[in-house]
Structure 1
Amino acid sequence: MVKNDPYAALRFREFNIFLLLRFALVFGWSMQFVVIEWQVYSMTNDELSLGIIGLCEFLPAFLLAPFAGHIVDKKEKRNLFMLCIALFSLISFGLFWLTSDAIESTWRTNTVLYGIYSLVFFGGVLRAFFGPTIFSLIALIVPKRAYPNAATWSSSTWKGANVFGALFGGFLIAWIGVHYTLGIIFLLVMIALVLVFQINKKPILNKVTNESVKESLEKGIRFVFNDKVILGALTLDMIAVLFGGAVAIFAVFAKDILDAGPKGFGLLNAALSSGSIITMLATTYIPITKNTGKKLLVSVFGFGVCMIIFGASKLMWLSVLALFFSGVFDGISMVVRQTILQLKTPDDMRGRVGAVNSMFVGSSNELGALESGIAAKLFGAPLAVMLGGTITLITVAVMGLKNKPLRNLDLTGDIEEHEKE
């Protein structure tokens, strides 16, 4: 019988360093996205310019993900991670420089704007590499018996840094302005760059040298689509976020449906995020390896139900409660999905599988925002969210009935096999 140790992954020095540098990176990246959105909209007063920012980051991240996965599997992971962070520091410094008084007073507004778009596009290229590199590196830092716990701490760190980064970004813009906020982001990235040197180089587990790029990509994609457990887990997440998510239209609910104003808008976001963070931290104490498939299905089903309640609600307290519990279920599903991926992916294919995961997650987040906006325009925000929640429930029902390997998945045996590592 496996004893649950809530601090199993934290007992490894390199993993603690990894968490610190990941927090610094995600915190900075999240702040940077908020600050750039604010700056670009201030320069253009055009909502379309905000869409262009998302498009500039999404397109290269999505299109390059398969090639990035191939490269990650062939290269040493620590040095590749270091290179990604170093290049990210150039982006951060470039944005800091473009928002300086000297540049704004001598360059045309459109020139500065195109410079920002270019750096955001470059960031999208790096994003294609960050996902599979991080996914592969975790597996080389902790032994397999600690994978579930590592997935929990890593996901919690990512979520917390993402939420608080956006929050602090808004405060710092008001306090010290865009330029100096971007300077702080640059310092955070440099801290991460220093920390990554505290992690030792790792062995390259993919020794195949005569494999073409095409063969490598096909092998990675074929593995994901032939494994019903991994494909099912990724599909559930993609559908839930693509159709069931409503973050992009929270402003509509706060302003027009709930009559709650800016404070209500902040409260809706906080309710969703706090539910996710609290639950992910709680899963360090609660084992998720037993009946893993059923827990994933139940958590995504619960998420769908909560979103239907949120869409139908006209009461602020009920909407906040529904979003909090949707965050709870989302936190569980995120940790379970990452645990499944870590334990079921062969060591020599982690880069490619991580890349496919990035494509699923990236496309669902970005396209989900687009879907929410179009559906709200066509059907109204409440009905759009309820329809999305209903599609999520139907997907869970079909997956539960048709995908027996996922439904019956239990990872306890996988952990026990590696207890002596």
Structure 2
Amino acid sequence: MTSPSSTGLALFRNRDFRLFGAARFLTSLASEMQVVAVGWFVYDLTRSPFALGLTGLAAFLPAILAAPISGHVADSHDRRLIAAGAWSLATLAQVGLFAFALLGGHSVWPIYALVVVMGIGRAFASPALSALLPTLVPREHFGTAVVWVSSFWQSAAVIGPALGGVLYVLGPTTVFGVSAAIYALGSLLVAAIRFRPEKPAARGAITWASLSAGLSYIRAQPVVLGAISLDLVAVLLGGATALLPIFAAEILHVGPLGLGALRSMPAVGAVAVAIWLAYRPLTRRAGPKLLMAVALFGLATVVFGLSHDFWLSMASLLVAGAADMVSVYVRQSVVQGETPDAMRGRVSAVESVFIGASNQLGEFESGTLAALVGAAPAVVAGGLATLLVAMVWGRLFPALKARDRLMV
């Protein structure tokens, strides 16, 4: 039996895996930096929680509108070049934000437009990258590869917000300029991956059947549907990231540096769990552990919403990130490990709407609810709703609750 350490060494001897991991780290780093900068910039211009929520909506709309075509493209074209082109588009969006900040713009609408451009890039990059990873490593190493790649982008999520907060002290132009350069480098790295599929996917005509095939596949797999929809609802209801500028400015009084630290904490928890899972992978009771992790995520969110102490807030976000990492590990192992390669792009596109876009839609939901009842009550309500969802999903998806092993 192969040990976790030897599996890790085998992965890192793989040049394409190293390039993939570096590209994921860099693009995640740039994304986290610009999210902090955009959030603080928008709130500084408007002092409106609803305006922060609209930022999430602007990022969400491209993902849901582009999902059918982006999945088809990922299954019929070179996934490396799709991802490289998408991150090049993100580079241009960062250049646009840099120019807007440099010129001293005061309206938030150009910011929303550029966030939409970023969302288009993510909509095409996400399914392409998700579908590419299983083709770069042996199937028996895939679970470990998921953990290591997750630790790469979670590490970026630790460094990125803090770095974004520090650079924002020098002005938003500094953050956007550095992010543009990092996105460009990430685009070059993913384009340099040498892998070519042995049998290129057929480039058939685009039909409704081909576009909706990913959704049809997910609906026919109860465990996959349960895992994806659970993450969707939990993040949609329990996410508090959009409101962190308000907590940093008005509740905890820690400024942009504190905001960067708060945004880093979920990733700190996630990285710690990712490292643990790399050496102690889940072997049994995957479904129940997924449900327990989502419940813990909701509980930690409640604590954060009630806290007025900076260190308690940091700790609760750390626990939330640790719990979320377990969810990511189980979901990605199940979804990508069991999906045929010819379908991975379309399934990943649907998954990106359910998971990735739920973060942005959750930001809109949080901002809207906070505008009505206040930031802290909105976060507490979302955490309690997530606890309820974890209990309900165990009944709605008994196959998920009964799932023992990750890959069968």
Partner Cα separation in structure 2 for residue 335 and residue 84 of structure 1: 25
| 1:23 matches 2:25 | yes
Pick one of 128, 140, 157 that aligns with 1:162: 157
Equivalent pairs: percent with the same residue? 36
| 1:351 matches 2:345 | yes
Partner Cα separation in structure 2 for residue 264 and residue 79 of structure 1: 37
Partner Cα separation in structure 2 for residue 147 and residue 224 of structure 1: 20
Match of 2:278, SS state, is coil
Match of 1:91, SS state, is helix
Change (3 A) 1:168 1:381: closer
Match of 1:283, SS state, is helix
In the alignment, structure 2 segments of 5+ residues that lack a partner are: none
Give how far 1:209 is off: 4.7
Partner of 1:61: 63
Partner of 2:118: 123
**Aligned partners of 1:140 and 1:202 also within 8 Å:** no
Change (3 A) 1:70 1:2: same
Root-mean-square deviation (CA), in Å?
3.1
- Give runs of aligned pairs for residues 7-406 of structure 1, distance below 5 A: 7=8, 8-39=10-41, 44-45=45-46, 47=48, 50-100=52-102, 104=103, 109=105, 116-175=111-170, 177-203=171-197, 207-210=201-204, 212-250=206-244, 261-262=254-255, 268-313=262-307, 318-406=312-400
Deviations 1:132-168 (A, max 9, x none): 0110111111111111111111112122213422221
Deviations 1:357-376 (A, max 9, x none): 11112332122223333444
Give how far 1:379 is off: 4.8
Partner of 2:4: 4
Give how far 1:399 is off: 2.1
135-144 vs 268-277, which moves further: 268-277
Partner Cα separation in structure 2 for residue 250 and residue 221 of structure 1: 33
Change (3 A) 1:60 1:377: closer
TM-score (norm 2): 0.86
- AA of the residue aligned to 2:141: A
Partner Cα separation in structure 2 for residue 364 and residue 332 of structure 1: 18
Partner Cα separation in structure 1 for residue 69 and residue 396 of structure 2: 32
Partner Cα separation in structure 1 for residue 42 and residue 303 of structure 2: 35
Give how far 1:31 is off: 2.1
Partner Cα separation in structure 1 for residue 347 and residue 220 of structure 2: 12
- Which one has the largest radius of gyration? 1
Change (3 A) 1:91 1:392: closer
Give how far 1:222 is off: 0.8
Partner Cα separation in structure 2 for residue 120 and residue 377 of structure 1: 21
Match of 2:281, SS state, is coil
308-317 vs 289-298, which moves further: 308-317
Partner Cα separation in structure 2 for residue 335 and residue 270 of structure 1: 19
**Aligned partners of 1:205 and 1:347 also within 8 Å:** no
- AA of the residue aligned to 1:129: F
Partner Cα separation in structure 2 for residue 79 and residue 402 of structure 1: 40
**Aligned partners of 1:9 and 1:147 also within 8 Å:** no
Change (3 A) 1:394 1:32: closer
Deviations 1:384-414 (A, max 9, x none): 4343233222222222234232122233664
Change (3 A) 1:331 1:39: same
